[in-house]
A and B are shown apart, each in its own frame.
Chain A
Amino acid sequence: MGLPKLAPAQAAHDKLKALGILALNGMFDEMDAVGVLRYAVSDVLPGDLAIVSSFGADSAVLLHMVAQVDPSMPVYFLETGKHFRETLDYVETLKRQFGLINVHAIHPNPNDVARFDPNGDLWETDPDSCCHIRKTEPLEPVTEQYGGWVTGRKRYQTVERGVLPHFELTSDDRIKVNPLAYFSDADVIEYRQKHNLPEHPLYAKGYKSIGCAPCTSIVAEGEDPRAGRWRGLNKKECGIHYDFSGAIANPMTAANRHTLWKDGAFIADPFRDWEEGTNPSEARYVHVPLPVFLANRAEFLANPHPLGLLVSPGEKIEDAEANLSRFASIAIRFPAFSDGRGYSTARLLAERYKFAGEVRAVGDVLQDQIPLMRRCGFNALVVVHEPTRQALIENRLPEVAVFYQPVGVTEIPLGTRPFLRRVS
């Protein structure tokens, strides 16, 4: 790292100004988004950095990175009152799944709305003013509290953003951090798939850039992704993203993160998620959903490649009883940690069907349930929740170490109560 480490945000900020933002932009690989973010959080503006997220089509990528680096970073969401219902749901999904603990909604001033947009149709007649009262104005008092901001803007999004750097100094002397500046559409998709990030419910319907409902439309294949925003108007930005300056950095390797926890470490996962339309005869290293397997049993059994099986709640593992040995790995899905059906499935696999391969928990896998999962026979976990990852790495799971029930195949009853008890 080329910069001296300066603790107080103000000092760092002054120093950065003196050095010039240009130097900072030379420090990181184009694709090292997590590195940019981590450096910004820990060295540039510790405790003085926040993010505004639209929770739009590709917000998940940046928020996922934020959760890795600092799940308590303040995340602001402009609740303009004009969002799609799906966007509001998506806010909750991401909060829960990523473990973001500091998400705040910013609402427009009701007096402004009453005065300038009493009928709620300002977007139609004067979209700039609509953005102003619903975004720029409400955000201002919040931005004043922080020395810097993280944004998810990317060069590819519009022609205007084509020279976007990692770090910018704004006209009011704040620092904007753009970790995804160099990400392409394909990079975003790859990252999303690699980390199994939830997709915005409207993305699949053709919305590539999602803002307020009235001003967002579907974009066609090959069109600028933001072409769907304020379609038909000569408007590209809402006013909260302005002035940037800077230069471009040198390439380095991208940050890499494994989510499969097995035998005491996060390791590379040979398996990928099942994609609809995959040919059953050619599939390899994917967890085949149980219903898909049952519908194409012959093809999968003839397929010579390594395969896994994905069992979702409500599905009966008994249906595949005769073919369990076909699978190298069986993934049991927990759509929510509070859905306990997977525990029964795991016990049946281990105790009744003597399945000896990998049994992994996927989905909402959190530290407080992992001890129960292990007792029921899980021997691998896919974990994205950052505090849970830390707890696993530091080997401090919240566990009660004495058990009243003989469960699983590994619990050999020992101790004072040979019938019911085991001290681990």
Chain B
Amino acid sequence: MGRRTTASIWKTTGMYRYDEFDAAFVMGRTAQFADQVKRRISGELSEDQFRPLRLMNGLYLQLHAYMLRIAVPYGTLSSKQMRKLAHIARTYDRGYGHFTTRQNIQFNWPKLKDIPVILEELASVEMHAIQTSGNCIRNVTTDQFAGAAADEIIDPRPVAEIIRQWSSLHPEFSYLPRKFKIAITGSPNDRAAIRFHDIGLQAAVNASGETGWEVWVGGGLGRTPMIAKLINSFVPHEHLLAYLESIMRVYNRYGRRDNKYKARIKILVHEEGLESIKGQVEAEFAEVRGGVLTLPQEELDRITAYFAPPDFADRSDDKIDVAYESIIDPAFGRWLDNNLHPHRVSGYSSVTVSLKPVGGAPGDATDVQMDVVADLAEQFSYDELRVTHEQNLVLPHVAVRDLRAVYDVLVANGLAEGNNNLITDMICCPGLDFCALANARSIPIAQEISHKFASPERQKQIGDLKIKISGCINACGHHHVGHIGILGVEKKGGELYQITLGGDATEHASVGKIIGPGFEADQVPGAIEKLVDFYIAQRQGEGETFLEAYRRLGEAPFKEALYGTA
């Protein structure tokens, strides 16, 4: 076991904690960036030279102001860290932050002069903004229920942390052809959309019963959506970094750099073919395998120890009667129905805290809400919090007996929407209201849809339905993998919205298809309603979800329902 040092200030287990080395690293990086900012202000660095440096420190120039994107490694936060984010929102921004589809948080209104102070504040709680942007390996994302889910083969967070370390300021891979995103899941039920990442890792068990990783490569959304392809069905833990480095090297050397829209690894895999890329990766792997990147079991054990489960009090006899609660308090009943996820320890549950109130901006949380959730985590969830790629928060370890208390606090703070996985639980990018790239607004569309389907009874009737909204072709709102996807485009100076059907981000991955001509903004909620009504009329009982019905019926009848002709 490596030595624990004074830099560890956490009173609980369950997450990685910085030692002196990590602290020195983040401090060095913060100082380096402060120097770069100074040289930019003095004019020594041109904007062209500065841009990649600031991006690799999470600093974007947006439509109205700078935007700072802060890394939440694999979506895990402590209450102390969440309180720091609340403090930053309150002190340096306009009192709120926006949780993103990469499990990060971004602040839309910081002043450039405050950035170094914000980074220092973050460093004080072992956080940073490193590699949340730029053509480098980005924050590794994972299942929001990692370490808690009943269906998990292995907790992916220790390996995610090892990948985080390996990829941080990697000298060979800091100027890649394009950004590079890795997602990892320890569960066969993919909640991390790993097949839509540059590299997706899924826990696998081989014939000898050993746990390792399926490696998927070349997935992505954006203007050319691609489902990742399986490049290796079993890489053991000890060789995973060597295998990843082999993929990165092939991509760095041969990924296209002539056209930024064709520079992701998905295009390389698509153009050269999986077999060719696999051959190159395996040849590289043969050279580096067993070398300096071999992960010793002791190191894996040492990192894993940080993520040891909390010392759960025995609550195995506790039960909650959802049917009974629903009669007493229907809203609480709905929340119990939708916002709980099965926990591996009996008597506990993982709670999704919805950031999708009717009429709200999906993923936004105020400073007060962040503080409230931090308090709840400290009191009821062993100090742990998660950010989901669907832009909600999670209290991963709540005892069943505490659910009512947690719920009551959430209600008082506008966080108790019982809509997880329902039609109003939408993913939505910031869109033209904030983003310099967007062609169309997306938040107002989400707000209108949520008003249209605000009735809880209606949402329950519709059941699981994922709507995902992007304000431009870059697909930050994941519209390609929405059961219903909405894509804002610019047409003749106005905003128009295309609708796609049949996307799916899970292990049954599929890319949605554009169903027909686009709609004006005010027609979108009506169009969604037509599709939903048609589904309800056609489904084979309440058990058949929208996606299942679409897959059974095909595109044509939905198209007819929407446009009146086949």
Nearest CB on B from A323, distance (A):
20
Q: Which residues of A contact B168 (CB under 8 A)?
A: 404
Q: CB of B279 within 8 A of chain A?
A: no
CB <8 Å contact, B253 and A341: yes
Most chain B beta-carbon neighbours within 10 Å: one of A343, A366, A407, A413? A343
A423 to chain B: which residues have CB within 8 Å? Answer: 21, 24
Judge whether B32 is part of the interface by a CB distance below 8 angstroms.
yes
Q: Return chain B residues, CB-CB under 8 Å to A343.
A: 171-175, 252
Binds B, one of A79-87, A114-122, A138-146, A395-403: A395-403
Complex interface: stretch among A159-167, A172-180, A368-376 = A368-376
| Segment from B48-56, B310-318, B390-398 that makes contact with A | B48-56
How far is B253's CA from A337's CA once the two chains are assembled, in angstroms?
15
Q: Are A338 and B3 in contact (CB under 8 A)?
A: no
Shortest distance between the CB of B23 and any CB in chain A (Å): 9
Minimum CB–CB distance for A392 against chain B, Å: 14
Q: Does the CB pair B21–A421 fall under 8 Å?
A: yes
CB pair A372–B46 under 8 Å, yes or no, is: no
Of residues 13 through 37 on chain B, the ones whose CB sits less than 8 Å from some CB of chain A are: 19-21, 24-25, 28-29, 32, 35-36
Residue B293 lies at the interface, judged by CB distance under 8 Å to chain A: yes
Q: Shortest distance in angstroms between B1's beta carbon and chain A's nearest beta carbon? A: 11
Q: Which single residue of chain A is at the shortest CB-CB distance from B287?
A: A352
Residues of B within 8 A of A341 (CB): 252-253, 257
Distance in angstroms from A387 CB to nearest chain B CB is 5
Min CB–CB distance A360 → chain B (angstroms): 17
Q: Is B43 an interface residue (CB 8 A)?
A: yes
Question: Within residues 157 to 195 of chain B, which ones have a CB less than 8 A from any CB in chain A?
Answer: 162, 165-166, 168-176
Q: Is A406 in contact with chain B by the CB < 8 A criterion?
A: yes
Distance to closest chain A CB from B33 (angstroms): 9
Tell me the count of chain A residues lying within 8 A, CB to CB, of chain B.
45
A376 vs B35: C-alpha distance when bound (angstroms): 23
Contact residue among A376, A403, A419 (Cβ-Cβ distance under 8 Å from B299):
A419
Contact of B28 with A372 in the complex, beta carbons under 8 Å: no
Judging by beta carbons under 8 Å apart, are A400 and B32 in contact?
yes
Partner of B25 from the list A366, A369, A404 (CB cut-off 8 Å) is A404
A96 and B46: CB pair below 8 A? yes
User: Is the pair A416, B21 in contact by a Cβ cutoff of 8 Å?
Assistant: yes
- A72-B43, A344-B253 given; A366·B49 CB < 8 A: yes
- Is B49 a contact of A404 with CB atoms below 8 Å? no
In-complex Cβ contact of B175 among A71, A339, A398, A416 (8 A): A339
Residue on A with the closest CB to B32? A398
* Residue on A nearest B134 in the bound complex, by CB: A338
In the complex, the answer to whether A347 meets B49 with C-beta atoms within 8 Å is: no
Report whether B21 and A405 are in contact in the complex, using a CB–CB cutoff of 8 Å: no
Interface size on B, residues (CB 8 A): 45
Inter-chain contact A420/B166, CB cutoff 8 Å: yes
Q: A95-B46, A96-B46 are in contact. Are A404 and B169 (CB under 8 A)?
A: yes
On whether A407 and B28 interact (CB within 8 A), knowing A99-B46, A398-B36, A416-B3, the answer reads no
Q: Are B20 and A416 in contact (CB under 8 A)?
A: yes
In whole Å, how far is A93's beta carbon from the nearest beta carbon of chain B? Answer: 12
B172 contacts A407, CB within 8 Å?
A: yes
User: How far apart sit A344 and B247, CA to CA, in the bound complex (Å)?
Assistant: 12
- Complex Cα spacing A71 to B25, Å: 33
Q: Which of B281-329 contact A (CB under 8 A)?
A: 287, 292-293, 295-296, 299
Interface contact A407-B171, CB-CB below 8 Å: yes
Residues of chain A lying within 8 A (CB to CB) of residue B21: 402, 415-417, 421, 423
Compute how far the CA of A375 lies from the CA of B3 in the bound complex, rounded to whole angstroms: 27
Does residue A102 face the partner (Cβ distance < 8 Å to B)?
Answer: yes
Shortest Cβ gap from B250 to chain A (Å): 9
Which residues of B have CB within 8 Å of A110? Answer: none
**B-contacting residues, A334-387, CB 8 Å:** 337-341, 343-345, 347, 352, 366, 368-369, 371-373, 375-376, 387
Complex Cα distance, B44 from A366, in Å, reads 11
Q: A96-B46, A99-B46, A402-B28 are in contact. Are A416 and B257 (CB under 8 A)?
A: no
Determine how close the nearest CB of chain A comes to the CB of B416; give it in whole angstroms. 41
A3 at the interface (CB under 8 A from B): no
Q: Are B169 and A338 in contact (CB under 8 A)?
A: no
Query: Complex Cα distance A96/B51, Å?
Result: 13
- Shortest Cβ gap from B218 to chain A (Å): 19
Instruction: Determine how close the nearest CB of chain A comes to the CB of B444; give it in whole angstroms.
Output: 36
Inter-subunit contact A369/B46 (CB<8 Å): no
CB distance from A273 to the nearest CB of B (A): 24
User: Are B174 and A372 neighbours in the complex by a CB distance under 8 Å?
Assistant: yes
Chain A residues within an 8 Å CB radius of B28: 399-402
State how many angstroms separate the Cβ of A384 from the closest Cβ of chain B.
14
B39 at the interface (CB under 8 A from A): yes
Are B165 and A420 within 8 A (Cβ)? Answer: yes
Which residue, of B35, B46, B171, has the highest number of chain A Cβ atoms within 10 A? B171
Q: Is the CB of A340 within 8 A of B36?
A: no
The answer to whether B299 and A387 have CB atoms under 8 Å apart is no
Please judge, given known A-B contacts A352-B287, A405-B166, whether A340 and B172 are in contact too, CB under 8 Å.
yes
B449 to chain A, nearest CB (A): 40
Q: Which residues of A contact B43 (CB under 8 A)?
A: 72, 101-102
> What is the bound-complex CA distance between A400 and B34, given in angstroms?
12
Choose from B35, B46, B176, B296 the contact partner of A419 (Cβ within 8 Å): B296
User: B299 and A420: CB pair below 8 A?
Assistant: yes
User: Is B2 in the interface zone, CB < 8 Å from A?
Assistant: yes
Complex: how many Å from CA A387 to CA B38?
Answer: 13
- Residues of the B chain whose Cβ atoms lie less than 8 Å from the Cβ of A401: 24, 28
Q: Which residue of A lies closest to B48 (CB)?
A: A96
The interface residues of chain A lying within 8 Å CB-to-CB of B20 are 416
Contacting pair A372 B36 (CB below 8 A): no
Please name all residues of chain A whose beta carbon is closer than 8 Å to the beta carbon of B169 when the two chains form the complex: 372, 400, 403-404
Q: How far is the CA of A366 from the CA of B46 in the complex (A)?
A: 11
Query: 9 closest A-B pairs (Cβ-Cβ)?
Result: A340-B175, A400-B28, A375-B171, A372-B171, A101-B43, A343-B172, A406-B292, A419-B299, A404-B165
A-B contact pairs, 9 of them (CB 8 A): A102-B43, A337-B49, A343-B173, A343-B175, A373-B171, A399-B32, A404-B170, A407-B170, A407-B171
Where the two chains meet, the residues of B that have a C-beta atom closer than 8 Å to any C-beta of A are 2-3, 5, 19-21, 24-25, 28-29, 32, 35-36, 39, 43-46, 48-49, 52-53, 135, 162, 165-166, 168-176, 249, 252-253, 257, 287, 292-293, 295-296, 299
Q: A71-B44, A400-B169 are in contact. List 5 more A-B contacts (CB 8 A).
A: A102-B43, A400-B29, A405-B170, A407-B170, A416-B20
Q: Which residues of A contact B (CB under 8 A)?
A: 71-72, 95-96, 99, 101-102, 313, 337-341, 343-345, 347, 352, 366, 368-369, 371-373, 375-376, 387, 398-407, 413, 415-417, 419-421, 423
